[in-house]
A and B are shown apart, each in its own frame.
Chain A
Amino acid sequence: MTNRRSFLTGAGAITTAVAAASVSRVAMAALPEPVLQTHAETMSPLVPTTGRPYNPVVTLNGWTLPWRMNNGVKEFHLVAEPVVREMSPGFKAHLWGYNGQSPGPTIEVVEGDRVRIFVTNKLPEHTSVHWHGQRLPNGMDGVSGLNQPAIPSGKTFVYEFVARRPGTFMYHPHADEMTQMAMGMMGFWITHPKVKHPLIDDVDRDFVFLLNAYDIDPGAYTPKIMTMLDFNLWSWNSRVFPGIDPLVVRKNDKVRIRIGNLTMTNHPIHLHGHEFLVTGTDGGPTPKSTRMYEVTTDVAVGQMRQIEFLADEEGDWAFHCHKSHHTMNAMGHEVPTMIGVDHRKVAREITKLVPDYMVMGERGMADMAEMEMPLPDNTAPMMTGAGPFGSVEMGGMFSMLKVRKDQKPGDYKDPGWYKHPPGTVAYEWTGILPDPARFASEGGKSMPAQNMPAQEIEVQVRKPVMGNMKH
């Protein structure tokens, strides 16, 4: 714990304090000053200087909300407001969020803390905050209409409860929920254990992020809020690869990653190079007897998963959602498959009509990553991200776990590309290729097929060989 305090940078240094201008200063006087964030970089962990000590988390491309202690109560101030979030370099989205960003800041408290959260609504419509997964008085659960009146525009409401159980939580609106979540209103909540918990291990690095998805037409800025499943931007903390920061660790660090899913589909999250244990779910830490080593864990809709592993393999390890189209980004689902289609002559003809036309997809979609052609304004490219050996051909829910033996404890700076020891990178074989020995008696007539058609059907495989098509 103490050594972790050494990388403390302090709340004042990591946040830009800006008073919320449109809410009356008199009304604000009694409130903790809201802290707003103007950029989307991953912040160093916020080590507590007041209240009970705990081991802070790192929010991927995010930050933790500072608080003030008021007569033993931890006071936070969330401001619900429209924000502009840079989802990847050069691609900005007009979202709704909290305190300048979407998702909002992570709230970190300690088991048993009395927490008071001021929520100021600067949205054009009413809102509420639901504290997803918490044990709390019914009137604090944040379902507008059911537990409380919705917070009108321009008003500030107060939530107050005791963080009763340690674990991983989320917060999000429960008023006009579909719109507000489609617009990016959500945040993370961590309740750290007060005392050493038998099922909660100490870790060296504790990362958190939310899975979220948007539907923003290429060239537009605002998400389409009516979309049900056909989202085109799959993001972690509203960032898309290559805009997502890597998860940087020191070799042999014990690492915890907490993932919450606020999209409308499940995400099989997959880590390369290591096996992990699922040590916690929505309900808290899992019993040890239920834990098994895995390399992929499915995070279903509205769920949270907490995985832990020992980062004992150096390198740059891919870490991503295993639904491959979630690692592609904005793409046209109606684009026909062009693989194997000979474009000669036709392409020339089309170029006459559409001068900027280039053949794409004839050999697959890797063209996309290679060509770098102009896209509509404010469009995240589909498959991109330059690695040390070329394009990573990824987008969306994709990042890397970077394990380095010389990474200092508490240092989250990107160490650059991994320098592979000689002879440890796949290479081209230039020698002779011997004929493979093949098993020669496949099939046979030991079990002849019954009821065959009178004539044997010949399966014709048409190979997409260029230049030999009769037309």
Chain B
Amino acid sequence: MTGSTMNKIFRLSAVATAAVVLAGCASVNIDQTLADTNGATKPFTQGKLELSRTEQQQQARSKLSNDLLAKQLSMDDAVQLALANSPAVQTLLAQSWADMAQANQAGRLANPLFSFERARFGSELELNRLLSFGLLDLLTLPQRQEISRGQVAQAKVQLSASVIEQVTQVRQAWVRAVAAQQTLEYAGQVNGTAQATAELAKRMQQVGNFNKLQRARQQVFYADATAQLASAQHAATVALEELTRLLGLTDAQAAQLKLPEHLPELPKEPLQAVTVSAKATQQRLDVQIARNQLDMAGKSQGLNLINSLVDIEIGIRRDTVFDKAAATKTPRTGYELGIRLPIFDWGTSKRDAMNAQSLAAASRYESTVRGASSQLRESYSAYRTAYDIAKHYRDEIVPLRKAMAEENVLRYNGMLIGVFELLADNRDQISSVIAAINAYQQFWLADSALAASMTGKPTSMVMSAPASGGAGEAAGH
């Protein structure tokens, strides 16, 4: 063996050592990742996403939670609270960290293999030492690191998507809880009217001004209203508990939770369709995920092509032979190369699979882009329709009902209608208000769904048909 050969070998091993060292340095920085996610999902998290690992972080989080719970919880507050307080969110972050670390692993070199042999032959003792590692592993390291970085990036995007989904759920649960509370309040008012009507009818019968049938007719409204109040009560509880779960509140925290009495007012102007354009499509996380997948498929294609054909192992060998008889010690150095012979498998299946996967990734990307813009249009339609309906309720139906109520009081004043008609109309008016609340709820649900659709992942929004504004004749008389 010549000296130059030896030099080559040692140079190689030095490179390998350096690669090992380098690969070992690049670990996942979760704080940086969260900062990136906060940046990517700013309208959702307002930069408040944080994984708490230390006692200090824990305390900061619980202080924030307490502060938020001390006041009336707005929609944004609810999101902050969920980010700070929900164990589910922390689970999400920790899990995402784990995924990224896993991905990072793929960008590292396999550890070198050291083998030692000791053999005695007559008077000869032979000690063999072999330090071997996969040559291809080393040669493809930069490429594999790139892929690994891609996977980490993918995991980051995935995290952002999950955060947006979580936040959207919190927002929608908040909307449902507030609306249910509001509806309950009005159901209580309907019940109050019905109760007053029933009581008055009872007294009417007692003094002989009503017969049994007339009284029963009024009583039955009260009976119905009571049943409706009970189910409204349960619906409010269901909505509140869903929010409680998404906020990850403890029992004590749940007792502290205070929601506003009304849903927020509608925005002055709805978002315009141009804002929600194809440009937004490119920013969408599902599109980004699909593109990442496509990129990675492209990069790993070349790499896997080599891997599928060849597998080269290189080893540095240093043997020493001790000859007792001759009292000599003969060193012997060299290297070993192991090559897998592509005799049975020329790698065609693997290549097919890879080609197919690349193709699939390309198609998936295409389909995601196409689906995204369609889905965005649908979300926008849901948003816009909900806005228009809610506005219509606010500007048309509720004022009309109010005007009718005022006119009916005037008619009552003139003894043109009786108190039962007045109260029946009042019930109708309240029903319209409940329908209006429902319309507002639909809008805010659609609003958060659209926001999620624009930056995050598609969130489907099923519009419920608006309730009638009570155009029919007032019931009950």
Q: Which residues of A contact B (CB under 8 A)?
A: 218-219, 330-332, 334-343, 345-346, 349-350, 352-354, 356-358, 360-361, 365, 368, 371, 373-376, 379, 381-382, 462, 464, 469, 471
Contact = CB atoms under 8 A, between A and B. Distances in A.
A219 B407 contact: yes
Interface stretch (B12-20, B244-252, B418-426): B418-426
B415 A382 contact: yes
A468 B62 CA distance: 59
A341 B320 CA distance: 120
A388 B150 CA distance: 99
B192 interface: yes
Given A337-B209, A376-B410, A360 B203 contact: no
Contacts of B422: 354, 357
B200 A462 contact: no
Given A219-B407, A334-B477, A354-B405, A343 B200 contact: yes
A125 to B, nearest CB: 31
Contacts of B209: 336-341
13 contacts: A219-B410, A332-B414, A334-B418, A335-B416, A336-B204, A336-B210, A337-B209, A345-B199, A352-B192, A356-B409, A376-B410, A379-B410, A471-B206
5 A-B pairs with least C-beta separation: A373-B413, A335-B418, A332-B416, A349-B196, A340-B207
The number of chain B residues touching the other chain, given as a range, is: 35 or more
A353 B192 contact: yes
Contacts of A342: 203
B415 A368 contact: yes
Contact of B415 (A350, A354, A365, A374): A365
Nearest to A340: B207
B160 to A, nearest CB: 49
A374 B411 CA distance: 9
A468 to B, nearest CB: 11
B284 interface: no
A391 B205 CA distance: 32
Interface of B: 189, 192-193, 195-196, 199-200, 202-204, 206-210, 214, 405, 407, 409-423, 426, 477
Contacts of B199: 345-346, 349, 471
Contacts of A331: 414-416
Contacts of B409: 354, 356-357
Contacts of A335: 415-418
A375 B421 CA distance: 16
Contacts of A340: 207-209
Given A349-B195, A354-B405, A360-B412, 10 more contacts: A332-B414, A332-B418, A334-B477, A336-B204, A346-B203, A349-B196, A354-B422, A360-B413, A379-B410, A382-B415
B270 to A, nearest CB: 34
Contacts of A339: 207, 209
B203 A382 contact: no
B196 A346 contact: yes
Nearest to A381: B414
B417 A341 contact: no
A373 B202 CA distance: 27
B203 A469 contact: yes
A365 B416 CA distance: 12
A341 B218 CA distance: 15
B457 to A, nearest CB: 46
Contacts of B413: 358, 360, 371, 373-375
A471 B203 contact: yes
Contacts of B419: 336, 338, 350, 357
Contacts of A350: 193, 196, 200, 419, 423
Nearest to B203: A341
Given A341-B204, A350-B423, A375-B410, A336 B196 contact: no
B407 A353 contact: no
Contacts of B423: 350, 353-354
A464 B204 CA distance: 11
B192 A332 contact: no
Contacts of B415: 331-332, 335, 360-361, 365, 368, 382
A469 B206 CA distance: 9
A345 B199 CA distance: 10
A340 B422 CA distance: 20
A465 to B, nearest CB: 10
Given A340-B207, A376-B407, A464-B207, A218 B195 contact: no
B207 A462 contact: yes
Contacts of B203: 341-343, 346, 469, 471
A317 to B, nearest CB: 28
B101 to A, nearest CB: 62
Given A330-B416, A331-B416, A341 B200 contact: yes
Contacts of B417: 332, 334-335
B414 A382 contact: yes
Chain A CB within 10 Å, residue with most, of B199, B410, B416, B477: B416
B405 A332 contact: no
A353 B414 contact: no
Nearest to A349: B196
Nearest to A463: B207
A355 to B, nearest CB: 9
B216 to A, nearest CB: 15
